[in-house]
Chain A
Amino acid sequence: MSDASRSQESPTDRVASDRHRVAGHRLVPHTADCIIEAWGSDRSSCVTEALYALVDEFAEVPDAATSRVLPLATESRGAEDALVSLLEDVIYALDVFSVVPIRFHLAETESGGIAGDMEVVSIDQAELVGPVPKAVSYHGLSMVSHDGGWRCRVLVDV
């Protein structure tokens, strides 16, 4: 899932160097579920990292997997609402279309939303490496502009 412009850290890594990275994400342990932390230079790149983290939490997909494209958009202007909405859209696609996203292409819209698409593969091509995400919690939810970029933290029910 990773490419050169993004970073992934293990949960035990420290984030002292985060501000020097363009974008990244990590999974933070929670007793029963999973906490995602992500960061990016703008709102859409931060959300994009959170979406990659959501997928990394439960699936691995081989590079050669065949993909198709599904639209992905939110009109929510609030940063936290937009984050929750797009994470929920990915969970919905898992449940209803039986697909796993492998790449996201998102940008801010003129109306203040976030829109784009996601390349997805059939779940048959994915290896299950963790419990499947099922919902997004508001407990401890945050998405804030920080040090010239954006950071978010969200707890996902698995």
Chain B
Amino acid sequence: MASGAARPEPASVALRAVPGTVDRWRIEPIGAMRVPGVVFASELLLPQVIEDEALRQVMNVASLPGVVEASYAMPDVHWGYGFPIGGVAATDVERGGVVSPGGVGFDISCGVRLLASPLSVEELAPRIEDVMDALDVGIPRGLGAGGVWHLDDDRHLESVLHDGARAALAAGIGTERDLARCEDGGRLSGSDPSQVSERARRRGFGQMGSLGSGNHFLEVQAVDQIYDAHTAEVFGLSPEQVCFMIHCGSRGLGHQICSDHVRIMLGAMSRYGITVPDPQLACAPVGSTEGKAYLGAMAAAVNYGRANRHALSAAVRRVFAGVTGTGDLPLVYDVSHNLAKLEYHQVAGELRLLCVHRKGATLALPPGHLDLPEDLRSVGQPVLVPGSMGTSSYVLAGVDPGGAFSSTCHGAGRTMSRHAAARLVHGDELRRQLESAGVAVRARSIRGLSEEAPAAYKDVDEVVATCEHAGLARRVARLRPLGVVKG
């Protein structure tokens, strides 16, 4: 039993810079590793990357059956369970590749949505406190059940699990244009609600349209800097424009699905002759009964998560209309950062069907990709990267050729435990600091506020700059916070 050490010893891992590349480091395969590890990190980020267990987890992921190319770590990587948070790994579906619920994480389809308003910071300034007060009342968050969209019955929940944000639209929530600006049109195909347990359904039933707690939030933001005026215009962003960013996932339903299917796979692995170095990496071949069951349930949770953010968007529009008289808040984009998807990629010169796990990593489709809606196809997919509370967030765009199976970072990435962060600064003091910096705060928990102190995270500016230098994505706009609503 541990004798009081808060962290495990840092992994003793040999990282070598990859010649001819920028901010790209390689871990040669050793032991059970089937592929190398590849870490994207600047010299500034590297000490934080090697400080905790994340690199050991990158190596563990490299041992999964069917894994191809490399086990990747984004610049915001940090210690998770099973997979690191900020990890990307793909397995070859037709060559024994596995799917691992731990490679998606508990909060399936946790992701970010950005809404753009027609008002500038100056125009909203006299009413921003009113907007924040109305959001404080109108956005369910924190502990327990309760959401802005009350599902009628189990059939209603079933339609959400099948159709995601499309089910919300069918219920009169949002617009057809919103769906065009959602990853997969707001609905991930392959959903199989019969693989969603009754326990997961009960947890999800009363939480539709709620933020939750922890690092989830709703922020009022301003477009602070534009790096690419044309792309920003295509995305619908302009200087000093007020935006709303929503960061949340599939609530208790997604967590329960992950728990249920990790347990199923732990019981099934021996039948497939699979052993893993960490039980949270439990997995099964993609084409197996257990693999298909998980992917069907996971897609259902993805759809729940997208409908959840869709419902919260409607609540934000109602609040904004109530205060300013206009509810016109077009969706810039909605994208998940905890997800496994079946995608075609070139591997060693061959087009292969892969199961790409992104755990705390964001899809970043390049310009020209056919999965993008026509109006975005010339510039690439919008990537939404929330910063830590009180710091900048970013809108990036996918690039060609990109890297890590068209993936990039998902946020700033924690460096400090919640406890350490709470000891660093009291919530009341942090609130004062934020408000003196012009950021209005509406938090359910003062302690929860302190646990999300910016000092507990990496520097998001450095993280996104590293993504750009490493060729994973490019910067389009930086957003600064005006107000934060937290659980």
A residues with a Cβ closer than 8 A to B are 11-15, 27-34, 37, 58-59, 88, 91-92, 94-96, 98, 100, 123, 126-132, 134-142, 144, 146, 151, 153, 155, 157-158
Contacts and interface: CB of A to CB of B under 8 A. Distances in A.
Contacts of A34: 418
A132 B279 contact: no
A123 B141 CA distance: 13
A32 B262 contact: no
A11 B421 CA distance: 13
A27 to B, nearest CB: 7
B266 A128 contact: no
B472 interface: no
A96 B206 contact: yes
A123 B3 CA distance: 34
Given A28-B6, A29-B419, A130-B448, A95 B1 contact: no
B418 A29 contact: yes
Given A95-B203, A129-B445, A138-B266, A28 B2 contact: yes
Contact of B255 (A130, A134, A142, A151): A134
A29 B6 contact: yes
B144 interface: yes
Contact of A139 (B2, B81, B144): B81
A13 B202 CA distance: 39
Nearest to A158: B214
Contacts of A96: 145, 202-203, 206, 252
Given A31-B79, A32-B85, A98-B144, A130 B445 contact: yes
Nearest to B420: A29
A135 B146 CA distance: 19
A8 B415 CA distance: 26
B447 interface: yes
Most B CB contacts (10 A, CB to CB) among A100, A139, A155 go to A139
Contacts of A13: 4
Contacts of B52: 31
A11 to B, nearest CB: 6
Given A92-B199, A132-B213, A137-B280, A27 B255 contact: no
Contacts of A127: 445
Nearest to A152: B1
Contacts of A91: 252, 255
B389 to A, nearest CB: 13
Interface in B44-94: 52, 78-82, 85
A131 B214 contact: yes
A31 B78 contact: yes
B7 interface: yes
A71 to B, nearest CB: 16
B454 interface: no
B418 A14 contact: no
B142 interface: yes
Given A134-B107, A135-B258, A139-B279, A126 B6 contact: no
Contacts of B279: 138-139, 141
A29 B144 contact: no
Contacts of B386: none
B451 A132 contact: no
Most B CB contacts (10 A, CB to CB) among A11, A137, A144 go to A137
B282 interface: yes
Interface string B263-295: 000100000000000111010000000000000
B2 A135 contact: no
Contacts of A139: 80-82, 102, 278-280
Given A92-B199, A130-B445, A139-B82, A14 B143 contact: no
Interface in B390-420: 414-420
Nearest to A132: B213
A29 B444 CA distance: 22
